[in-house]
Amino acid sequence: MAASQDRLRLARYYERTVDVMLLTLIIFAVAGATIFVMSVTIGDWEFWADWKDRRYWPLAPVAALLVFPAGISAAFWQRFRLPISCTAVVLLYTVFRWVSSYINFHLFGGYPMSFVWPSVFIPLAIVIDCSLVITRSVFLTGLGGAFLWGLLVYPANWPLLAAFHEPLTYNGEMLTTADLMGFQYIRTGLPEYVRVVERSVLRTFGDAVTPLTAVFAGFVCTLVFYVSWIAGSLLNNQAWVKKV
Amino acid sequence: MKFFGINRLIGLILVLAILPLDSYAHGERAQQANTRMRTINWYDLEIGPKNVQVGEIVTVKGRFRASSQWPEEIPSIDDRVFLNVGTGGPNFVRLASNIDGVSGVQSTSLELGKDYSFETTLKARKPGRFHVHPILNVKDAGGMVGPGYWVEIGGSFEEFENSVETMLGRTVNLETFNLGSIAVWHIVWVVVGGAWLFYWIRQQPLLVPRMRKVDAAISRGDDPDSLITPTDLKVAIAFLTVTLLLIVGGFAWGEREAPITIPLRTAKTNMPADKPFPTSHVEAKVESATYRIPGRSFRMQLAVVNNGPATLQIGEFLVANVRFINPLVKTVTAIDEHDLVASEGLRIENGAIGPGQSKLIEVFAEDALWEIQRLTGMINDPDSIIAGLLFFYGDDGSREIVEIVGSMLPVFE
Ligand SMILES: [Cu+2]
- What is the overall mean pLDDT for chain B? 87
**Please, what is the angle between helix A2-47 and helix B207-220, to 10°?**
100
Which pLDDT value is given to residue B19?
42
> Above 50 in pLDDT, residue B18?
no
| A81 CB-near residues (< 8 Å, 6+ apart) | B210, B213, B214, B224, B225, B227, B228
**Alpha-carbon gap, residue B243 to B237, rounded angstroms:** 10
**Alpha-carbon gap, residue B381 to B38, rounded angstroms:** 13
Q: Is A16 on the interface with B (CB under 8 A)?
A: yes
> Residue B146 Cα, ligand 1 centroid: separation in angstroms?
9
Q: B293 or A125: whose pLDDT is higher?
A: A125
Q: Is B273 on the interface with A (CB under 8 A)?
A: no
CB B139 within 8 A of CB A192: no
pLDDT classification of B28: cutoffs 50, 70, 90 = low
pTM exceeds 0.90 for this model = no
Decide if A195 and B22 are in contact by the 8 Å CB cutoff. no
Provide φ and ψ at B174, rounded to 5°: -65, -15
Is the bond preceding B294 in cis, omega lying within 30 degrees of 0? no
| A98 CB-near residues (< 8 Å, 6+ apart) | A118, B186
Decide if A117 and B135 are in contact by the 8 Å CB cutoff. no
> Above 50 in pLDDT, residue B304?
yes
Which pLDDT value is given to residue B16?
46
| Least-confidence region, from A12-21, B46-55, B155-164, B394-403 | A12-21
Q: How many CA atoms lie within 13 A of A24 on its CB side?
A: 6
**For range B137-148, the mean pLDDT:** 91
**For range B49-58, the mean pLDDT:** 96
Q: How many CA atoms lie within 13 A of B256 on its CB side?
A: 6
Cα dihedral A89, A94, A99, A101, rounded to 10, equals 130
Q: pLDDT (tens digit, 9 = 90+) per residue, B63-80?
A: 999 999 898 888 999 999
Decide if B192 and A122 are in contact by the 8 Å CB cutoff. yes
Q: Which of B135, B251, B257 sits opposite A163 (nearest CB)?
A: B257
pLDDT classification of B1: cutoffs 50, 70, 90 = very low
- Positions in chain A short of pLDDT 50: 241-244
Q: pLDDT (tens digit, 9 = 90+) per residue, B74-107?
A: 899 999 999 999 998 999 999 999 999 999 999 9
Q: Which of B204, B236, B262 sits opposite A130 (nearest CB)?
A: B236
Give the Å distances, CA to CA, from B102 to A167, A168, A172, B106, B142.
21, 19, 11, 10, 22
Q: pLDDT (tens digit, 9 = 90+) per residue, B168-179?
A: 889 999 999 999
> Above 90 in pLDDT, residue B15?
no
Which pLDDT value is given to residue A206?
58
Ordered by start, the domain boundaries in chain A are 2-242
Which of A73, A117, A193 would best serve as a mutation to test chain B binding (most B beta carbons within 10 A)? Answer: A193
Q: Is A178 on the interface with B (CB under 8 A)?
A: yes
Give the three-class secondary structure for B36: helix
**For range B3-21, the mean pLDDT:** 46
Which pLDDT value is given to residue B29?
63
Interface list for A 211-240 with B (CB within 8 A)? none
Interface list for A 86-115 with B (CB within 8 A)? 87-88, 90-91, 94-95, 98, 104, 108-115
Which pLDDT value is given to residue A200?
65
> Residue A133 Cα, ligand 1 centroid: separation in angstroms?
58
Decide if B137 and A193 are in contact by the 8 Å CB cutoff. yes
Superfamily of domain A2-242, CATH level 4:
Ammonia/particulate methane monooxygenase, subunit A (1.20.1450.10)
| Least-confidence region, from B1-15, B45-59, B351-365 | B1-15
Q: Which of B94, B250, B263 sits opposite A159 (nearest CB)?
A: B250
